Amino acid sequence: QVVGGKVKKPGKRGRKPAKIDLKAKLERSRQSARECRARKKLRYQYLEELVSSRERAICALREELEMYKQWCMAMDQGKIPSEIKALLTGEEQGKAQQNSIKLAKAGKTEANSTNP
């Protein structure tokens, strides 16, 4: 028979029966399921680690916020916390060190330019 320009053989309709062994097909399905469960387990582990790291960060930020609240309450009472004093003097010392380093570098470049 010729239908639509194609030759059809009688008795060959529909899908061809699967030649794959049923046991092999089941084994492939089991293997695929194992791999899927392993990927799912890894995904859950990653998400749990992500959540725990974010929780630790939140706790650290809450502690820092509480510390700042205490500093503000102390400053409202007219007291300057020692941490703030240390922070301010540390900044002043840092600026002084930066200026001395800049002066030293400038002096070295001047000395190098005068020596032939």
**Global pTM exceeds 0.75:** no
**Unique residue bearing structure tokens 């510390």:** 67
pLDDT-flagged residues of the chain (< 50): 116
Q: Read off the tokens for 4.
A: 């639509």
pLDDT digits (tens, 9 = 90+) for 43-72: 999 999 999 999 999 999 999 999 999 999
Q: Where are the domains of the chain?
A: 22-89
Q: Are 94 and 88 in contact, with CB atoms under 8 Å apart?
A: no
